[in-house]
Chains A and B, each alone.
Chain A
């Protein structure tokens, strides 16, 4: 059974954090380094000063609790026992909301559902537009969910816990939306539970291997540019990925002991992966605080990289694509963009929208665009209208 949940970070935790920040020690910085070597010192000092003195976690906490109805429930995962899972759950205001599971990645969280939830559940006042029941899970090891204690909690297990949550909420059929690691989880949900349970999936990051008879000479300029961006990311932006995938515990000591270190580690991605998104300091600090105050601690959140790499499911491993319908939203500053000729390796793309702004954290950066895409994909006249029996998003 589920328990209602309100985020309530203890005052001891708050004062311990304040005390740690007060004793922060900063490195120096090379002249004119800009962003080339990582997060600039001026940004860090400014953010840390705000975290120490002005940022009001209690207020942010209250806002979150007011906006997002949260719950916890125990979910059994084969071989791992019972995990207490935290999630946001908001039903549509009217009508038979299409059950939508939203799955975050790293360094994301349930927080990424904050802006899209009102749009998805309320609709637009336009009766032509479908509404959704939204479930935004905190993946085990993130947010306020428990983390597994044993080794080997990999893609299969994230899939299992997500699926079981939807079933437990009474949604035998549902659809999914995911970015970053959430894209991998929802793709795997589509593979394992597609047809019977997962009826359609939507993602904002596509990845597959090139097809057998791939012909690079037919790539468009924008496809070539996308592949070049991916290569550049691998060359200069994927150090975190390599480290998380091999020595997450060693890094974990730093992230657990230093809020400044954790802030830098996450903030760098918030800026470099988004499309000139105008982060406010409090927005960044709220985001990072979720990690600092997370139930399992920040070190737990990076273990999935290791598990996935060691369970034969690393990105790029050959696997057959899911067969249920899928949609994608392409944002220009996403980390990877594959040529259209590779799409069959991803899945059965029945909906595609391309945007001229937005980056990796699409739900946070461009909530209206993302929701607009979901409404088109699932709405009347859309390619997967009515895909969930008895819940088409309309009265």
Chain B
């Protein structure tokens, strides 16, 4: 294990600046708004800021100051050793519940930034549990190495995550995940649940394949459930072009994202805006987020491959799953998530013991609504919660 500080070399920074200075923009149809994708005015403004005002060094320093980071080599069956980057912050007082936070795409370890203080410091309220938080960069993301071979899918992402927790001395732990993190933590729950993973919490609740369900049964669902299914259908109709290309030709797309920071910015920014609930992104916030991808160890093209691998392992989002995990599961529902499934299908995911409805927030819950998400975790794992004391000897309270 090594202590890690993000440090992007000056040559890399000046190369980026030079590329931005030579940026070539497309035109745009009159009054197209967001209908055709990210608007030109937004991208031009962001690129100008990235080129001239955005101070990566400053952001880098803040990240290093806030997030204690490390790297360590983890062996993955069939894939050799991967050097994994992760954030690890222990609770300030009490026996922190070990919590593994798993991001997705276009997320990163950065999504743990706001919740980590709340989870580890607690609120000063002795009734609330505290956590030890581990937020890994999935292989191929952030500052983790990417695999060199084909076939690195849920099994492998789960394996590397689990082995990281064990390596940190956490034989028992709990997990939180959104986007791919929801599927990966589900795989963790399936493979290591009971013995190691003791409970799991997710904010992206999708399972089964709506098309295979008898549509006539939909009339029995409540309004909120129908709306969730409709949102997911709409996402599949008009919002999953990125998914289809990433799941089938990630390398072809990868040439664009590796060569054009403007292209990468647009590709990610579009999701940051349309998947959130009117979140007031600042330009620097967006640029920091996208810079993680541009400066990532494996390069932006590597981050797309998870879609291909999952598709070809027959594990795409929403596909029917076998062997449902039995450990306690918690849900947080945010209204602007990409979709959700009805209660009647919950058993397809797991053993739901905790559920909260929110009236604001979207896909990037940890970033948009850190207090709400943390509040949910504190309830689920706190003294009167359904998952209190699941981790032996570490219940989040003193003694």
The residues of A with any CB-CB pair to B shorter than 8 Å are 16, 19-20, 23-33, 36-41, 44, 147-151, 236-240, 242-258, 260-265, 268, 296-300, 303, 306
Complex Cα gap A244–B246 (Å): 14
Chain A residues, CB < 8 A from B146: 28
List the 7 closest A-B pairs by CB distance, nearest first: A261-B256, A254-B263, A250-B37, A38-B252, A249-B37, A27-B301, A38-B251
Chain B residues, CB < 8 A from A240: 245, 249
Q: Is the CB of B241 within 8 A of A30?
A: no
Query: A237 and B248 in contact (CB under 8 A), knowing A150-B29, A299-B26?
Result: yes
Chain B residues, CB < 8 A from A296: 27
Q: Is the CB of A306 within 8 A of B245?
A: no
Closest to A152 in B: B29
Q: Is the CB of A239 within 8 A of B241?
A: yes
Q: Is the CB of B25 within 8 A of A257?
A: yes
Closest to A238 in B: B244
Closest to A250 in B: B37
Shortest CB distance B159–A (Å): 18
Interface residues of B in 251-278 (CB under 8 A from A): 251-260, 262-267, 270
Chain B residues, CB < 8 A from A268: 249, 252
Query: A250 and B149 in contact (CB under 8 A), knowing A28-B302, A37-B308, A256-B25?
Result: no
Chain B residues, CB < 8 A from A24: 259
Q: Is the CB of B238 within 8 A of A246?
A: yes
Chain B residues, CB < 8 A from A41: 251
Complex Cα gap A262–B263 (Å): 11
5 contacts between A and B (CB under 8 A): A31-B148, A244-B241, A254-B257, A260-B256, A264-B251
Knowing that A27-B251, A240-B249, A250-B38 are A-B contacts, what are 12 other residue pairs whose CB atoms are under 8 Å apart, sorted by A's residue number?
A: A27-B299, A27-B301, A28-B146, A28-B301, A37-B251, A37-B252, A40-B251, A242-B241, A243-B242, A246-B241, A261-B255, A261-B257
Q: Is the CB of A253 within 8 A of B263?
A: yes
Complex Cα gap A30–B148 (Å): 5
Complex Cα gap A38–B257 (Å): 14
- Interface: B95 (CB within 8 A): no
- Interface: B223 (CB within 8 A): no
Chain B residues, CB < 8 A from A298: 26
Chain A residues, CB < 8 A from B305: 30, 37
- Selecting from B15-23, B330-338, B349-357, the interface stretch reads B15-23
Query: A260 and B259 in contact (CB under 8 A), knowing A243-B241, A253-B25?
Result: yes
- Interface: B230 (CB within 8 A): no
Chain A residues, CB < 8 A from B25: 253, 256-257
Shortest CB distance A311–B (Å): 13
- Interface: B28 (CB within 8 A): yes
- Interface: B392 (CB within 8 A): no
Complex Cα gap A24–B257 (Å): 11
Chain A residues, CB < 8 A from B246: 239
Q: Is the CB of A300 within 8 A of B26?
A: yes
Shortest CB distance B158–A (Å): 20
Query: A253 and B262 in contact (CB under 8 A), knowing A27-B301, A243-B241, A246-B238?
Result: yes
Closest to A149 in B: B30
Chain B residues, CB < 8 A from A303: 29, 36
Shortest CB distance B278–A (Å): 20
Chain A residues, CB < 8 A from B239: 246
Chain B residues, CB < 8 A from A256: 24-26
- Interface: B286 (CB within 8 A): no
Query: A248 and B30 in contact (CB under 8 A), knowing A39-B252, A253-B43?
Result: no
Complex Cα gap A155–B43 (Å): 29
Pick the residue among A40, A150, A237, A248 that contacts B36 (CB under 8 A).
Answer: A248
Complex Cα gap A357–B147 (Å): 39
Chain B residues, CB < 8 A from A252: 26, 37
Q: Is the CB of B37 within 8 A of A247?
A: yes
Complex Cα gap A55–B187 (Å): 50
Query: A20 and B255 in contact (CB under 8 A), knowing A30-B149, A248-B37?
Result: no
Chain B residues, CB < 8 A from A250: 36-38, 266-267, 270
- Interface: B150 (CB within 8 A): yes
Chain B residues, CB < 8 A from A147: 27
Chain B residues, CB < 8 A from A37: 150, 249-252, 305, 308
Complex Cα gap A296–B25 (Å): 11
Q: Is the CB of B262 within 8 A of A38?
A: no
Shortest CB distance A365–B (Å): 21
Q: Is the CB of B32 within 8 A of A258?
A: no
Q: Is the CB of A33 within 8 A of B251?
A: yes
Q: Is the CB of B26 within 8 A of A249?
A: yes
Q: Is the CB of B249 within 8 A of A254?
A: no
Q: Is the CB of B241 within 8 A of A245?
A: yes
Q: Is the CB of A25 within 8 A of B308?
A: no
Shortest CB distance A33–B (Å): 6
- The proximity string for B residues 222-245 relative to A, scoring 1 for CB distances below 8 Å and 0 otherwise, is 000000000000000011111011
Shortest CB distance B80–A (Å): 11
Chain A residues, CB < 8 A from B147: 30
Query: A38 and B258 in contact (CB under 8 A), knowing A27-B301, A30-B305, A296-B27?
Result: no
Query: A258 and B256 in contact (CB under 8 A), knowing A28-B299, A250-B37, A252-B26?
Result: yes
Complex Cα gap A214–B329 (Å): 48
- Interface: B342 (CB within 8 A): no
Chain A residues, CB < 8 A from B249: 37-38, 239-240, 268
Shortest CB distance A146–B (Å): 11
Query: A243 and B244 in contact (CB under 8 A), knowing A28-B298, A268-B249?
Result: yes
Closest to A292 in B: B24
Q: Is the CB of A38 within 8 A of B241?
A: no
Shortest CB distance B248–A (Å): 4
Shortest CB distance A87–B (Å): 22
